[in-house]
Amino acid sequence: MLPHFTWTEYLLTVAALVTVYYVIVGITFFRQELKSFFNSKNKLWQRADKPPPAGQ
């Protein structure tokens, strides 16, 4: 590795590149799921808890 780069700079750069990569992959392959998740009227935090199944 080049001597003027510190390990901190290297790790921050790698973390940023990995984050950008996964954002691009997520948008490319999971576009419909992301749209339905963010446009859903039944938000995850607003869902009522389901009662436990009866008869067990």
Please tell me which residue, 40 or 7, carries the higher pLDDT value: 7
> Looking at residues 11-16, what average pLDDT do you find?
97
Q: What is the pTM of this model?
A: 0.58
CA distance 23 to 1: 27
CA distance 13 to 19: 10
At 28 the pLDDT is 93
Structure tokens given for 46: 């607003």
Q: pLDDT digit string (tens) for 15-54?
A: 999 999 999 999 999 898 888 877 876 665 555 666 667 7
Query: Which CA distances in Å does 35 have to 13, 22, 41?
Result: 29, 17, 12
Q: How would residue 2 be classed by pLDDT, with cut points 50, 70 and 90?
A: low
